[in-house]
């Protein structure tokens, strides 16, 4: 079976799909058999927040250098710590993705992972409240997925293609 997706051509070859000549960064959703990955939508406000956080980390890291003390040996350590902290923040913020596997939704952001079996999802609602609760998102245009047996009971996410994500989630959990 062959399907067209956002102007690209996919060939389903049994257990795995063959994707021909598609640059990864240009593809919003990646279909591989029963697995689909949706990237997070990124707001301008989120980008500004990331710039602010990295700037604060930079100021805190390099502030001792402006005190005029001789800290030549510490410059390397401070630079390495700054790069490590800034990289971690950026990795967590810009690697957010939502993967629909054959049996569960996997929410990923940096080193953080949450797997929610489809049968445990009770409802999905729109939300603009992104400041409270468990969230792995980068946009105010978000949805909240409520589920049983979770530490927080829900997770807030912001898939770039929200309608396609919700349609695929409803296919995998018809009770929604």
SS3 string of the chain? CEEEECCEEEEEECCEEEECCCCHHHCCEEEECCEEEEEECCCHHHHHHHHHHHHHHHHHHHHHHHHCCCCHHHHHHHHHHHHHHHHHHHHHHHCCEEEECCCEEEEEECCEEEEEEHHHEEEEEEECCCCCCCECCCCCCEEEEEECCCCCCEEEECECCHHHHHHHHHHHCCCC
Residues 11 and 54 placed together within one structural domain of the fold: no
- Domains held by the chain: number: 2
Residues 51 and 98 placed together within one structural domain of the fold: yes
Residues 68 and 118 placed together within one structural domain of the fold: yes
Residues 114 and 172 placed together within one structural domain of the fold: yes
pLDDT along the chain (176 residues), means of 10: 39 39 40 74 84 87 72 76 88 88 90 91 87 72 86 86 93 88
**Residue range of the domain that includes 77:** 41-176
Question: Which residues, in sequence order, are CB contacts of 33 under 8 Å at separation 6+?
Answer: 12, 15, 16, 17, 102
Residues 109 and 149 placed together within one structural domain of the fold: yes
Residues 83 and 23 placed together within one structural domain of the fold: no
Is the pTM here over 0.75, yes or no?
A: no
Residues 25 and 63 placed together within one structural domain of the fold: no
Residues 69 and 142 placed together within one structural domain of the fold: yes
pLDDT at 100: 93
Residues 48 and 28 placed together within one structural domain of the fold: no
Residues 78 and 58 placed together within one structural domain of the fold: yes
pLDDT at 128: 82
Residues 16 and 71 placed together within one structural domain of the fold: no
pLDDT at 136: 67
Q: Which of 35, 25, 26, 24 is nearest to 6 (CA)?
A: 26
pLDDT at 81: 85
Residues 143 and 78 placed together within one structural domain of the fold: yes
**For position 87, which CATH number holds?**
2.30.29
pLDDT at 70: 66
């Amino acid at each position: 079976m062959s399907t067209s997706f956002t102007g690209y051509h996919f060939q389903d070859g049994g257990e795995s799909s063959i994707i021909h000549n598609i640059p990864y960064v240009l593809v919003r959703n990646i279909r591989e058999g029963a697995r689909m990955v949706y990237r997070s939508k990124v707001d301008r406000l989120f980008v500004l927040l990331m710039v602010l956080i990295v700037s604060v980390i930079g100021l805190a890291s390099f502030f001792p250098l402006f005190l005029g003390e001789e800290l030549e040996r510490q410059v390397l350590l401070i630079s390495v710590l700054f790069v490590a902290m800034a990289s971690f923040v950026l990795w967590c913020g810009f690697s957010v993705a939502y993967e629909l596997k054959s049996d569960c939704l996997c929410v990923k952001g940096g080193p953080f992972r949450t797997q929610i079996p489809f049968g445990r999802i009770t409802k999905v609602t729109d939300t603009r409240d992104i400041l409270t609760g468990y969230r792995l998102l980068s946009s105010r245009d978000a949805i909240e997925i409520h589920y049983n047996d979770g530490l927080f009971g829900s997770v807030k996410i912001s898939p770039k293609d929200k309608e396609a994500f919700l349609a695929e989630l409803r296919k995998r959990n018809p009770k929604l």
